[in-house]
A and B are shown apart, each in its own frame.
Chain A
Amino acid sequence: MIPLHWYLLVAAGMFALGIYGVLARRNAVAILMSIELMLNAVNINLVAFWRYMAPEALNGQMFAILVFAVAAAEAAVGLALIISIYRNRETVVAEDINLLKW
């Protein structure tokens, strides 16, 4: 059987890569993809803790299911916003979208 910390290390690496993507990428779609990576890393952690700590409880999997629902909603609205911004400003580069910047 695989020890718990292997799963947690994979999730930690995935989360750190997602942070790098969110902070460093210029394209708004790439930033959204990095956010999906971070949400997935959290899901790995939730399911791993459920399996290794309390497999007879349902909370861990239920949390993961709710994260799925929120991620789907976030992707739909985020991509709609990006398409709308592209129509109006002809750009999807995050630092060029500065209408609300003072």
Chain B
Amino acid sequence: MTITPITIAFFIMAAFTLGGSLGVVTNRNLFHAALYLVLALFGVAGLFVLLEAPFLAAVQVLVYVGAIAVLITITIMVTRRIMGVTESVNRQWPLAAGVSAIMAITLGFVVLDRFAGKLPVAAVPGDNIVRLGEALVNYDAYLVPFEVASVLLLAAMIGAIVVARE
């Protein structure tokens, strides 16, 4: 494995992602955990860029960093009064850590057993984003999932307004 700029960029983004994830689950201050979540989400967007999926990277930044992270931060501020008083993890945390470690080891074993050293089979077509956009509104491709997702978002929006209203 030679060190190229791509490899260095991958390691930086992987460090953002994993370090941010670790901060989210371990930080006692919930507001700092939310900031670590933003870091992890930016790392994932960087990985999408390295995987040559620029549209998904843009959507990741717009939807996750722009909307979901802000929503979570506002919720933390609204419910702040009891923050930082109690400890951040429950009594079963060693058990949870064990389950998590078993999951990581199992997944790592399967990945290294089946997919070690695999390289791309082909280059990404240049008109990939165009085809993606056309497939979303093509009746023979993904029009129905697209519309179902729209209805789901509408239902979630109305539901959130109804549930959170005074």
Contacts and interface: CB of A to CB of B under 8 A. Distances in A.
Interface in A49-84: 50-56, 58, 61-62, 64-66, 68-77, 79-84
Contacts of B101: 16
Contacts of A51: 51-53, 120, 124
A18 B25 contact: yes
A17 B79 contact: no
A4 B114 CA distance: 10
A58 B141 contact: yes
Contact of A5 (B41, B112, B166): B112
Given A24-B93, A47-B51, A62-B132, 18 more contacts: A4-B115, A10-B17, A12-B107, A17-B21, A18-B25, A19-B96, A25-B88, A33-B33, A37-B24, A44-B17, A54-B121, A58-B141, A61-B53, A68-B59, A74-B156, A83-B78, A83-B79, A94-B90
Interface of A: 1-10, 12-21, 23-27, 29-30, 32-34, 36-37, 40, 43-44, 47-48, 50-56, 58, 61-62, 64-66, 68-77, 79-84, 86-87, 90-95
